[in-house]
Amino acid sequence: MQTEIEKFKELTDKVKGLGEKKIRLEEQYRSKKEALTTLLKEIKAAGFDPSKLKETIAEKEGQLKNQIASFEQEVEKISAAIAKIEN
């Protein structure tokens, strides 16, 4: 009979522990869901479609690379002009 009582106590302790874990996981879920909802609102407010973020990111990266290349050419041109003036 003693072993059944001990086993029952162990099981009730385990149930209590699992209940606490469940509560923590539910809170984490709510927190992450709220953060995701906020992020989606920010994305939409910025004028982007959340379902097309990969395409948008690729497009913006391409535009940035083009701007950097253009800027680099401009800097080289100015640098060459300054070098001519200095000589």
Render pLDDT for 43-73 as a digit per residue (tens, 0 to 9).
999 999 989 989 999 999 999 999 999 999 9
Mean pLDDT of the chain: 93
Domain check: are 1 and 27 in the same one? yes
| C-alpha torsion sign, points 8, 13, 17, 22 | positive
What is the rounded distance in angstroms from the CA atom of residue 83 to the CA atom of residue 36? 53
Number of domains in the chain: 2
| 37 lies in the same domain as 10 | yes
What's the rounded mean pLDDT across residues 6-27?
95
- One domain, residues 37 and 13: yes
Predicted model pTM? 0.58
Residue 87 predicted with pLDDT over 90: no
User: Which amino acid, 9?
Assistant: K
Please check whether residues 58 and 86 belong to one and the same domain. yes
For residue 41, the model assigns a pLDDT of 95
Which pLDDT score is estimated for 2?
76
Is 50:44 a contact under the CB 8 Å cutoff?
A: yes
Domain that holds residue 78: 49-87
Q: Indicate whether 42 and 54 sit together in one domain.
A: no
